[in-house]
Amino acid sequence: MRLLAPTLVLVALMATSCVSKRKYVSATDTVDRLRADSTAMAAEDHALRTQLYGLQDYAKLTADELEQRKSELSATQAELKTKAQRMDELDRRLNAQNEAMDRLRKKVSDALINFKAEDLSVTLKDGKVYVTLSEQLLFASGSAKVDPKGKEALSKLADVLRANSDISVMVEGHTDTIPIRTSNFKDNWDLSTARATSIVRMLTDTYTVPAQRVQASGRGEYMPIASNATTEGRAKNRRTEIILVPKLDELFEIVGSGPASTKPKTP
């Protein structure tokens, strides 16, 4: 029995030792697992925080971009509104000017009503009044001297021009393609220029239309309105066009002005 007692104690101690070791190993494993879990969770937490901060920065950046786009949109809308207002004003003034030019056309037509329709016409085209006078009304063939009947027509036209001081006057001479047969002029171009100049001098010198409002040009045979292959067509091409042009300064100012620009000065 004395020998058995120590053995039993040893067995008991060994048994207790085995149990404690298992518990220790188990506890150690648990600690290691918890430590690993903690490390993983810390890494995950860091990743989540980094993602959160990134999302916050992105949200802020997106908000800033949104504000910038809103600002740009507001500026664009303001510019479009300004342009629309300018276009409305331009349309209003164009309509008013076209109405004024149509009234001028009627005044010129009334002033020249006693002349034959085949000798002259008065039309409104592209915002300008065209007074077209035939060669037979103004000149003898191959001449740049205005006939008496032509002087009468120019006198009546000058009355209207003097009463409308804001109108500029362009006088254009035109011919057919038949070569000129006089030594007074080099060619048809020379003749058309001389005829236009003769009319300008009569309007300014004789009928006192201000010279700064009038200009002359010769177009020769290069702007026909009918075929030069027929007698009738050539007769239509031998003409003088007196073009009445409205003052366009205000319209140019509207077209040329911008939201941040000043209106250009008229030279």
DSSP, collapsed to helix, strand or coil, labels residue 65 as: helix
Distance CA 120, CA 105 (A): 13
Give pLDDT tens digits for 124-138. Answer: 999 999 999 999 999
Distance CA 146, CA 148 (A): 7
Cross-strand pairs, 174: 220, 239
Q: What is the pTM of this model?
A: 0.69
Distance CA 183, CA 139 (A): 17
Kindly list the domain boundaries of the chain, sorted by start residue: 96-252
Mean pLDDT of 213-217: 97
pLDDT at 71 over 90: no
| CATH code, residues 96-252 | 3.30.1330.60
Distance CA 175, CA 195 (A): 10
117, 133, 260: which is closest to 198 by C-alpha? 133
Q: How many CA atoms lie within 13 A of 67 on its CB side?
A: 5
